[in-house]
């Protein structure tokens, strides 16, 4: 290779490396592109037969430049292009250590854990001890093995992090799709359905946000919170638009979401397209997604982290956060929900908040469902729909009973909570309301039940004229899933009883733990959950 040629290539390499170390990824990538173009130009006219040494040096330079540009591209989240650079580098030299490690990291961030593991194993076979990379490579190997196991089995454990008071790094989570399928929904459009029986607390789905925006919205000055939310919303839209422009797969998956129009005519996508490991075999169309369509999709599908049916774990609980999580967007609302969200870092975990039967549709509570029917109808209207779940249908029929309407009026008018509970329980006895339907009405008047049981004085005053708190908690949890307010009543009852180890107390403690699993999931093991619930 000519000296001047070598010097120019070395100069470009050095500048690109310096910019990379300064975390000026775009500038570093630009210089790598110049270096790649230069190498390709020289290779196009180089004679391999007459000067094999020069040809070989140019190929090595091209290979390294591609690996470096891939590294910079991955930092910029331009993962499609970065992956192509890695593949081109490895086509030149299949055992190129830098390209293998870079490709492994990209595949790992894309959730393609098995393929990433193969890259790291290949890199490990190249004796990285010689260049001091053994320790860092082992870290990547261990991380990849752990995430691959989580993704395959759905076994997640946040116990140590919870027991440590959420200190330290947020646990890394794999993306996981449990026993669910997408089908047409009787609630609205499409929905997510269980393909087998699922126990309360089971992780049904774990998905990472396509984009997320967080910030503190409280503060001085009227309207300051609303203004901050508007700024955050604008930033969030820009983040999503950036993801859409950089990745064909992301663009296609977002395009499958509803924009609020023609819900019944929407195509039911194959669940397999959402599996990261299968993305290599899918040919995602290079479709257009204009800003108006993006805005419509985000308006319908964006989720706020700290919502009524969600639990934010760790330090993010102090922030207002809005994000887009793809598969979770298919979960409809019901006033008898069976699922909740657990937010851990940028990941959303869908947890069964009560036992779910095979074939049953998963449903969140979009708003507070421990409210009377009239209030819930108002909230549903604010969301732009009429709820026609089994609970709402039952309560619609019950609205013909003047006494029930009077009870709702009495609660709003400030009637003694115990009196409201007594009145409703007597009414249900006369109306012959039983089983789950009794839980529906108790959930609707939870404010009265919760207020009565929270006060020792009130609980003693009404005594045996109202049902035991434990029985009400059971029926409400069965009707509306686990809820922290319901769990709190049960924990307080245990506390008042002194937490003894008698048979009754043990049974109630197990009930409390089951309710706790419906909120926090089985990802928190028994001892850590007991501590979290202060049992």
DSSP string, 181-244: EEEE-SSSSEEEEESS-B-TT-EEEEEE-SEEEEE----SSTTHHHHHHHHHHHHHHHHHHHHH
Average pLDDT over residues 302-309: 93
Is residue 421 within 8 A of residue 452, CB to CB? The reply is yes
- For residue 34, pLDDT over 80 is answered with yes
- For residue 280, pLDDT over 90 is answered with no
Here the tokens at position 510 are 């197990």
pLDDT of residue 29: 92
- The whole-angstrom separation of Cα 384 and Cα 361 is 21
Average pLDDT over residues 53-75: 91
Average pLDDT over residues 351-356: 96
Here the tokens at position 399 are 């609205």
pLDDT of residue 285: 76
- Cβ neighbours of residue 320 under 8 Å, at least 6 residues apart? 214, 215, 216, 217, 228, 229, 232, 304, 305, 306
Which range, of 131-140, 177-186, 378-387, 441-450, averages the lowest pLDDT?
131-140
What are the DSSP calls for 486-534, one per residue?
Answer: HHHHHHHHHHHTTT--SHHHHHHHHHHHHHHHHHH-TTS-HHHHHHHHT
In 3-state terms, what secondary structure has residue 66? helix
pLDDT bin (cut points 50, 70, 90) of residue 219 is low
Is residue 424 within 8 A of residue 408, CB to CB? The reply is no
β-strands 310-313, 320-324: how paired?
unpaired
Is residue 46 within 8 A of residue 65, CB to CB? The reply is no
User: What integer best gives the mean pLDDT of the chain?
Assistant: 90
Average pLDDT over residues 373-394: 93
To which H or E segment does residue 181 belong? strand 180-184
- Cβ neighbours of residue 123 under 8 Å, at least 6 residues apart? 97, 100, 101, 104, 133, 137
Place of tokens 């292009």: 81
Highest mean pLDDT among 210-219, 271-280, 285-294, 352-361: 352-361
pLDDT of residue 247: 86
Here the tokens at position 7 are 């010097």
Query: What own/partner pairs with CB < 8 Å and gap ≥ 24 does 278-282 have?
Result: 279/110, 279/112, 279/249, 280/112, 280/115, 282/249
DSSP code at position 158: -
Closest-CA residue to 297 (of 287, 289, 308, 305): 289
Residue % of the chain over a pLDDT of 70: 95
Domain ranges of the chain: 1-153, 158-364, 373-533
CA 141 to chain CA centroid, Å, is 25
pLDDT of residue 425: 94
pLDDT of residue 421: 94
Average pLDDT over residues 62-85: 92
- For residue 371, pLDDT over 90 is answered with yes
pLDDT of residue 477: 94
Average pLDDT over residues 218-230: 71
Is residue 518 within 8 A of residue 352, CB to CB? The reply is yes
Buried b (16+ CB within 10 A) or exposed e, 326-337: bbbbbbbbbbbb
pLDDT bin (cut points 50, 70, 90) of residue 206 is very high
In 3-state terms, what secondary structure has residue 83? helix
- Cβ neighbours of residue 232 under 8 Å, at least 6 residues apart? 213, 214, 215, 217, 320, 322
pLDDT of residue 242: 92
103-154 pLDDT, tens digit per residue, is 999 999 999 999 999 999 999 988 655 556 777 899 999 999 999 999 999 9
Residue % of the chain over a pLDDT of 90: 65
452-470 pLDDT, tens digit per residue, is 998 888 888 898 899 999 9
Here the tokens at position 291 are 């800003």
pLDDT of residue 33: 93
Is residue 476 within 8 A of residue 443, CB to CB? The reply is yes
Whole-angstrom Cα Rg for the chain: 29
- Cβ neighbours of residue 432 under 8 Å, at least 6 residues apart? none
Between 120 and 508, name the one with better pLDDT: 120
228, burial (CB in 10 Å: exposed 0-12, middle 13-18, buried 19+) = middle
pLDDT bin (cut points 50, 70, 90) of residue 190 is very high
- For residue 1, pLDDT over 70 is answered with no
CATH 1.25.40.10 for domain 1-153, yes or no, is yes
pTM to 2 decimal places: 0.89
Average pLDDT over residues 286-291: 83
Average pLDDT over residues 513-529: 93
Is residue 151 within 8 A of residue 175, CB to CB? The reply is yes
pLDDT bin (cut points 50, 70, 90) of residue 400 is confident
Buried b (16+ CB within 10 A) or exposed e, 72-100: bbbbeebbbbbbebbebbbeebeebbbbb
- The whole-angstrom separation of Cα 450 and Cα 486 is 7
Residue 349 has phi, psi (to 5 degrees) of: -110, 125
| The CA-based dihedral angle spanning residues 231, 233, 236, 237, taken in that order and rounded to the nearest 10 degrees | -110
Here the tokens at position 70 are 């891939």
pLDDT bin (cut points 50, 70, 90) of residue 222 is very low
- The whole-angstrom separation of Cα 507 and Cα 517 is 15
- For residue 270, pLDDT over 60 is answered with yes
HSE-up of 44 (CA within 13 Å, CB side)?
Answer: 6
- The whole-angstrom separation of Cα 408 and Cα 410 is 5
What are the DSSP calls for 225-238, one per residue?
Answer: HHHHHHHHHHHHHH
To which H or E segment does residue 27 belong? helix 25-45
Average pLDDT over residues 191-213: 96
Would you state the CATH architecture of domain 158-364? Beta Complex (2.170)
105 dihedral zone (left: phi>0; alpha: psi -120 to 50; beta):
alpha
């Amino acid at each position: 290779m000519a000296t001047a040629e070598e010097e120019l290539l070395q100069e470009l390499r050095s500048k690109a490396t310096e910019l990379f170390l300064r975390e000026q990824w775009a500038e570093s990538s630009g210089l790598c592109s110049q270096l790649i173009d230069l190498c390709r130009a020289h290779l196009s006219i180089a004679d391999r037969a007459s000067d094999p040494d020069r040809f070989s040096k140019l190929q090595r330079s091209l290979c390294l430049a591609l690996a470096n540009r891939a590294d910079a591209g991955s930092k910029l989240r331009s993962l499609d292009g970065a992956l192509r650079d890695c593949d081109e580098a490895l086509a030149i030299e299949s055992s190129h250590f830098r390209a293998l490690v870079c490709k492994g990291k990209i595949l790992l961030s894309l959730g393609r854990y098995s393929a990433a593991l193969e890259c790291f194993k290949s890199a490990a076979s190249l004796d990285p001890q010689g260049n001091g990379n053994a320790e860092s490579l082992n870290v990547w190997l261990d991380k990849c093995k752990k995430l691959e196991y989580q993704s395959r089995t759905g076994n997640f454990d946040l116990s140590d992090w919870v027991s440590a008071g959420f200190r330290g790094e947020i646990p890394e989570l794999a993306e996981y799709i449990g026993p669910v399928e997408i089908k047409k929904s009787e609630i609205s459009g499409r929905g997510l359905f269980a393909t087998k029986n699922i126990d309360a607390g089971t992780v049904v789905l774990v998905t990472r946000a396509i984009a997320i925006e967080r910030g503190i919205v409280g503060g001085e000055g009227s309207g300051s919170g609303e203004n901050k939310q508007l700024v955050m919303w604008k930033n969030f839209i820009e983040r999503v638009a950036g993801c859409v422009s950089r990745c064909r797969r992301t663009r296609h998956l977002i395009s499958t979401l509803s924009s609020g129009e023609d819900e019944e005519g929407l195509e039911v996508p194959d669940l397999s397209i959402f599996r990261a490991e299968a993305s290599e075999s899918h040919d995602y169309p290079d479709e257009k997604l204009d800003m108006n369509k993006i805005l419509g999709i985000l308006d319908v599908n964006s989720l706020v982290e700290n919502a009524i049916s969600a639990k934010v774990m760790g330090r993010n609980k102090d922030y207002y956060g809005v994000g887009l999580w793809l598969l979770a967007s298919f979960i409809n609302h019901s006033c008898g929900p069976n699922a909740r969200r657990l937010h851990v870092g940028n990941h959303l975990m869908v947890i069964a908040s009560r036992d779910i039967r095979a074939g049953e549709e998963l449903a969140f509570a979009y708003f507070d469902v421990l409210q009377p029917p009239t209030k819930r109808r108002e909230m549903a209207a604010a969301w732009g729909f009429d709820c026609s779940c089994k609970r709402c249908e039952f309560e619609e029929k019950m609205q013909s009973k003047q006494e029930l309407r009077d009870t709702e009026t009495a609660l709003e008018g400030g009637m003694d909570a115990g009196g409201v509970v007594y009145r409703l329980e007597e009414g249900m006895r006369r109306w012959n309301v039983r089983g789950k339907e009794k839980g529906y009405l108790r959930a609707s008047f939870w404010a009265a039940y919760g207020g009565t049981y929270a006060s020792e004085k009130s609980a003693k005053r009404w005594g045996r004229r109202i049902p035991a708190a434990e029985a009400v908690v059971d029926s409400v949890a069965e009707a509306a899933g686990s809820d922290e307010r319901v769990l709190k009543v049960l924990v307080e009852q245990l506390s008042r009883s002194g937490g003894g180890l008698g048979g009754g107390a043990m049974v109630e403690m197990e009930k409390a733990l089951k309710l706790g699993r419906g909120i926090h999931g089985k990802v928190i093991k028994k001892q850590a959950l007991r501590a979290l619930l202060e049992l």
